[in-house]
A and B are shown apart, each in its own frame.
Chain A
């Protein structure tokens, strides 16, 4: 337009300058970073296993055997404390200097830590101490290891404990993995419900949440009542915590255990007749039949000399009434 030869170049140069200026402004704006931060993200619900949730045992068909209560005949005569037959499991234990027993730490009356003395005590613990007394002549040469219901069989199998004295029901299925002493107490499954509840058995608890420890026969029994919502916890005390926090409506378990729970919560009651028979035995590694025979001899002696009744009276009489006749031992395995 101006007729100047540079006329076509000038606007081009102008555009370069303009572009440079725009770049500068852009850079300037880019420098103005916002000082606001994104909100801190919350961690996603952790998949970490809580101590109270364990897988429930599989409901595969329970193996049957003619007589689950049949144990091995007692060793006769019972060796004197301190002179165990050489090569026997008892001799190995004597050499170690202590008997290792898996027990419950929170089943009041059966096996629980007394928070005041710090000692573990209860009916099951007394049974374990009878064995220690028989091996060492001292009921205190014993290491009590607090274990959960689900740990009973694995710890016996891997030899971590010599004995399990933890309200353990003798069943055919368990005989396939471990060995049992003769029956030392006959318990039965009942339910614990809030004070004022009209329920007297699991059948009355349709649609309600009922808690039992993982790996226990009580939890397996819940499968017979499909209307009941089963909830598992690591221990019965874990169930009581859930019960007190309103996470479950009732607890099922052996009357002995439930008596211990009810003793800790005045708003809980144990109701109904027992709807199962729960014969308790001391668990032993399957290979150690000599220890089973030894334990059976010890138990027979304790029944005979009244120490069994003495222990029952001390722990269970208040909650479950006067001592019944001790279970008649069955030595059907020869």
Chain B
């Protein structure tokens, strides 16, 4: 502080205290007082040492901000990966619910093809599927509050579906044709209410996974921009200092620049590898899990439609059309999964084996052999449509679990070390700030 004279003026000069001794106006209005304070502040940073103080403060802030930005990048990437994993887990849950519901419906409709006396194991399978679906809805609601409203609606839809099936069973048990009507309406209600809700939930969660993947992939941008800006500012400060101080390099400030450069390179490399890992998962196990899950849902839907075609006895053309549609979806998604990961094609017999048996059932029914068609459709002997379908179910379920786990573990691997790296970058920022402050305070000292 070399020019402090004006600041010593009594800013609190009172009117009438000593009007002739004061160079200031006799009446100091609040505005004038504020003007004086600004004047003092401006004078405090005036001149070379003042500007040095300003630069020192700026570099300290820049160093801290670069460290913070890099730390934030790591934390954004880490958080995005955690959320992507959770959303992917939610997707698995939702698709599990959908698979369970269509499986329950396939069981219920297949049992109705048999007649009033439902096979006990089929009924047990239905009960288990519904129980698990209901539990999964509760778990899903806890896992993602944003899904709460849709899951509540889904819960009601499942409730009305199961009560329809119970009513259908009660009527069927008494030998009343009314039972089949209750079943048809329950089944149609499931497709009209529950499945669209699950579709909306699935697409919302798919979008969330994509958003988090995008966020994780872009996390490095913040560190990159901050690091580059920091480097430019430090370089500018070095040039300015060199002009002012007739020294070529201010070593501590240059050190701060090196630290920022290291932070920049390290975070771009580390976060770049996160982005690469995410891109791999996205095109790999995640895509394969999505394809397999879709294939399974369409497969169970096809199975239920096969039964509904037979229950309709001759007027089930619409259900057979729905079978064709679902079967085509399953085939193409199985092919897609196989393309992504040849191991996923390892479905013994695959979907085609069941398709061939379904065609046999259809040709029996279309040829007037409804009874034979029903016998073929409800048989559980090895080589029957049901047995072949069960094999597809088991194998594709296993592949789906494997792909989902691969996605989850891939995301965990990509996360490893991100938190530590974030802390280190924060510390490096502090180090850069200290170096810059030290470097400039040496120069400022020379003006004392």
Contact = CB atoms under 8 A, between A and B. Distances in A.
User: A and B from one assembly?
Assistant: yes
B226 A27 contact: yes
Contact of A46 (B171, B192, B208, B230): B192
Interface in B143-175: 144, 146-150, 153, 171-172, 175
A21 B314 contact: no
B177 A115 contact: yes
B79 A28 contact: no
B201 interface: yes
A206 interface: no
A259 to B, nearest CB: 13
A1 B222 contact: no
Interface stretch (A98-106, A248-256, A317-325): A98-106
Contacts of A36: 146
Nearest to A111: B177
Contacts of B374: 118
B368 A42 contact: no
Interface in A112-136: 112-118, 120
Contacts of B176: 108, 115, 264
B182 interface: yes
Interface in A281-320: none
Interface residues of A, number: 63
Interface stretch (A67-75, A190-198, A224-232, A234-242): A234-242
6 contacts: A14-B54, A17-B58, A20-B229, A31-B219, A143-B368, A148-B315
Interface string A72-105: 0000000000000000000000000110101001
A55 B81 CA distance: 52
B62 interface: yes
B230 A241 contact: no
Contact of B46 (A1, A23, A41, A241): A1
B66 interface: yes
Interface stretch (B67-75, B101-109, B332-340, B384-392): B67-75
Q: Is the interface of B mostly helix, strand, loop or mixed?
A: helix
B65 A37 contact: no
A146 B226 contact: no
A114 B200 contact: no
A204 interface: no
Given A40-B201, A146-B314, A148-B315, A116 B115 contact: yes
A265 B191 CA distance: 28
Contacts of A21: 58, 61-62, 65, 233
A43 B229 contact: no
A237 B178 contact: yes
A52 B188 CA distance: 10
A38 B233 contact: no
Contact of B79 (A35, A38, A48, A98): A35
Contacts, number: 174
Given A33-B76, A37-B208, A146-B312, 5 more contacts: A31-B219, A112-B177, A115-B176, A238-B185, A264-B171
Contacts of A52: 185, 188
Contacts of B232: 20
Contacts of B233: 17, 20-21
Contacts of A145: 313-315
A24 interface: yes
Contacts of A41: 150, 200, 204
B40 interface: no
Contacts of A237: 177-178, 180-181
A147 interface: yes
B315 A42 contact: no
Given A28-B69, A46-B192, A114 B314 contact: no
A25 B58 CA distance: 13
A146 B308 CA distance: 12
Contacts of A27: 69, 222, 225-226
A38 B200 contact: no
Interface of B: 46-47, 51, 54-55, 58, 61-62, 65-66, 68-69, 72-73, 76, 79, 83, 114-117, 144, 146-150, 153, 171-172, 175-182, 184-185, 188-189, 191-193, 196-197, 199-201, 204-205, 208, 215, 219, 222, 225-226, 229-230, 232-233, 236, 240, 312-315, 368, 370-371, 374
Contact of B65 (A2, A24, A116, A265): A24
A145 B117 CA distance: 23
A258 to B, nearest CB: 14
B51 A113 contact: no
A50 B192 contact: yes
A26 B225 CA distance: 11
Nearest to A23: B229
A97 B367 CA distance: 10
A241 B178 contact: yes
B178 A31 contact: no
A115 B65 contact: no
A2 B182 CA distance: 94
Given A31-B222, A144-B313, A145-B315, A264 B178 contact: yes
Given A28-B65, A28-B222, A43 B196 contact: yes
Contacts of A18: 58
Nearest to B191: A48
B58 A147 contact: no
A10 interface: yes
Nearest to B147: A40
B76 A31 contact: yes
B93 to A, nearest CB: 13
B196 A46 contact: yes
Contacts of B68: 28
Given A30-B222, A31-B76, A40-B150, A143 B314 contact: yes
A42 B153 contact: yes
A246 interface: no
B366 to A, nearest CB: 10
A223 interface: no
A231 to B, nearest CB: 15
The 9 closest A-B pairs by CB, nearest first: A145-B314, A115-B116, A106-B177, A143-B368, A40-B204, A43-B196, A37-B146, A237-B181, A146-B313
